[in-house]
Amino acid sequence: MEFIKTKIQDLILCKPTVFNDERGYFFESFNQEVFEKHMGKSVHFCQDNEAKSTKGVLRGLHYQLPPFAQSKLVRVISGKVLDIAVDIRKGSATFGQYVAIELSNENKHQLFIPAGFAHGYVVLSDEAVFSYKVDNYYHKASERGIIFNDQELQIDWKLAQNELIISEKDKIQPAFDKADLFEINFK
């Protein structure tokens, strides 16, 4: 697996080595030892989640406050999404910046999103199955969000707003400058 640094510290694109032949393909989607070696720290995933959505479904921007903050390793099993990770680490040199990466069943790329990022994605294909590992359990009282169309962040979701399908909860999230953000040690 190849680990590629993005423009934001600790946000890592993971490109697996895929073996193709006449039968199909094989790749190792996760190896704890290899992953931790390249991350330079221990990450203990405790839960795998999966969501199926249709074109235009936008989920996010979500995060949890400490001590329930979550790191995630995200990928797409079928279809294509635009994945967004926003740096919400106060004091970070890239605070308020985001990375947008297309994840698909074709490219098989994964994105490691450490704690301290708001995360969301929009489905670009007719439907997509999105899978992710987390290193902390869901804690409702710690759940927070940022409005998807925040004027300060200026995220290009690649679809017109009238094409987006957004939950009522995500439509009423606060703006970035009003969000309940947190301090985090991001050595």
Q: Which tens digits make up the pLDDT trace of 36-62?
A: 999 988 999 999 999 999 999 999 999
Q: 3-state DSSP: the chain helix, strand, coil percent, rounded to 5? A: 10, 45, 45
The whole-number pLDDT of residue 185 equals 57
Give a yes or no: residue 57 inside a domain.
Answer: yes
Marked catalytic residue, from 62, 98, 109, 119: 62
Angle at Cα 130 formed by Cα 126 and Cα 131, nearest 5°? 160
- 139 belongs to a structural domain: yes
Per-residue model confidence (pLDDT) at position 17: 92
- Helix spans in the chain (H): 32-39, 168-171
Cβ-proximal residues to 178 (8 Å cutoff; 6+ apart), any chain: none
Is residue 186 included in any domain, yes or no? no
For the chain, list residues with pLDDT below 50: 186-187
Domains identified in the chain, total number: 1
Report yes or no on 128 lying in a domain.
yes
Q: What is the domain extent for residue 93?
A: 2-178
CATH number at 115 reads 2.60.120.10
pLDDT attached to residue 181: 85
Query: Residue 175: phi, psi to the nearest 5?
Result: -70, 160
Residue 183 belongs to some domain of the structure:
no
Residue 74 is predicted with a pLDDT of 98
Which among 63, 98, 132, 138 is annotated as catalytic?
132
Residue 103 in domain: yes
Question: Does residue 132 have an active-site annotation?
Answer: yes
